[in-house]
Amino acid sequence: MAILVLGGAGYIGSHAVHELIEQNVKVVVMDNLETGHKKAIHPKAKFYKGDIRDRDQLVEVFNQEEIEGVLHFAASSLVWESMIKPVKYFDNNVYGMMVLLDVMNQFNVKNIVFSSTAATYGESDVVPIHEDVSTRPTNPYGESKRMMEQIMKWCELAHGIKYVSLRYFNVAGAMRDGIIGEDHDPETHLIPIVLETALGKRKHVTIFGCDYDTKDGTCIRDYVHVDDLIQAHILALQYLIAGNESTVFNLGSNEGYSVKEIIETAEIVTGKKIQTVLGDRRLGDPPILVASSQKAKNILGWEPKKSNIEQIIYDAWIWHSKNPNGYRE
Ligand code: UFG
């Protein structure tokens, strides 16, 4: 039996594949390589290049392999991009999920661990945010993930497909050995941009808005180490395979850092001066997103070990400094 990792060539998916293989699990990867990298895929994983919206391709994978459960990372995930290309997000994310669940049902595959997001919450009055806070997304990306959660809920009722939806806060860091890490083109995430600036690849970091109602006027986010995040996926998979009920968990560190604090910490970790420029607010950005992850700790027994901000930035720095061009030669 194998675990199918959809989006296993992407930043987070590739870390999941490495960890599963480390734990001697048989892994099948499907990725369309639109944002993922072939080099990020573990050599022991069986790889199919394909798009989950292509039903025939997906059926082919389920026909060829004995799939026990699915980890679903294959989605578009940029808040700002979703504001200017909403249909891309509903097509890739929502339609992709519809095809996937239909094929899982056809092949009687009953377990899915899903990459959801803090963006489902939108602007919450409750901080830290727990899972019972109402979801009011402020961007199409968050809306698409909320819709995907709803579709899973109805498919559970109709077909008995069990799910764990993991609402990630801001994922960063990299595997400590610097073999895989974060490489987007274009890169738009704060920590990689800050580190590329420290490396001299960029002149400055633009701070998107310094007039938010926060301690220093810049947006606050909760950063979780990618390795900790993946441990939660493995626990979630075990939870489902053990026959537990479908549910939703937040994954964060319970600590919020402003954009300015991230830059200051990166200066300390890297020992480099990082130039900044003040810019306008970015479309779709909520001012504060900080998680309560107590439910994942209580029910899954999740214990984040690396999610202090210095370690996250340090591990990301190792990847960026060893691979200044990412996966490109
Ligand atoms: N930011 C800057 N300058 C930059 C880049 C980012 O000021 O050059 C700011 C953003 O405005 C935001 C913060 O840094 O306030 C973090 O931005 P990121 O782009 O790194 O991440 P987001 O918070 O926009 O989104 C990320 C993931 C989403 C996920 C969300 C959950 O990309 O998929 O975290 O909190 F939904």
| Consecutive 10-residue averages of pLDDT for the chain (329 residues) | 98 98 97 98 98 98 98 97 98 98 98 98 94 96 98 98 98 93 96 98 98 98 98 98 98 97 98 98 94 98 96 98 93
- In this structure, the answer to whether residues 100 and 227 fall within a common structural domain is yes
298 assigned to some structural domain: yes
Q: Where is the domain boundary, 231, 251, 271?
A: 251
Indicate if 168 and 309 belong to the same structural domain.
no
Same domain, 155 and 201: no
Could you tell me the CA-to-CA distances from 239 to 17, 159, 258 in Å, in that order?
Answer: 18, 19, 34
Q: Are residues 26 and 96 in the same domain?
A: yes
> So what's the pLDDT on residue 277?
98
Annotated catalytic residue 89: no
Tell how far the Cα of 189 is from the centroid of ligand 1, in angstroms.
5
Residue among 2, 163, 155 at smallest CA distance from 67 = 2
Domain CATH number, residue 161: 3.40.50.720
Backbone angles phi, psi at 9, to 5 degrees: -100, 0
Check residue 91 and give its pLDDT.
Answer: 98
CA 210 / ligand 1 centre spacing (Å): 14
**How far, in Å, from the CA of 221 to the mean position of ligand 1?**
8
Residue 181 lies in a domain: no
Judge if 227 and 202 occupy the same domain: no
At residue 176, the pLDDT reads 81
Q: Where is the domain boundary, 206, 235, 251? A: 251
**Residue 227 shares a structural domain with residue 101:** yes
Shared-domain flag, residues 80 and 118? yes
Q: Are residues 152 and 281 in the same domain?
A: no
The pLDDT assigned to 231 comes to 98
The residue ranges of DSSP E strands in 190-323, in sequence order, are 205-208, 220-221, 223-225, 247-251, 257-258, 276-279, 288-289
User: Do 304 and 266 share a structural domain?
Assistant: yes
Helix and strand element counts for the chain (H, E) = 11, 14
The CATH number for 280's domain is 3.90.25.10
* Residue 289 alpha carbon, nearest atom of ligand 1: 35
Same domain for 132 and 73? Answer: yes
CA distance 200 to 286: 29
Q: Which of 62, 51, 11 shows the shortest CA–CA distance to 183?
A: 11
How high is the ipTM of this complex?
A: 0.98
Structural domain boundaries enclosing 125: 2-172+222-251
Active-site hit among 141, 168, 257, 314: 141
Residues 32 and 90 in one domain: yes
Q: State whether 239 and 91 are in the same domain.
A: yes
Q: How many domains does the chain have?
A: 2
Query: With a threshold of 0.90, does the pTM exceed it?
Result: yes
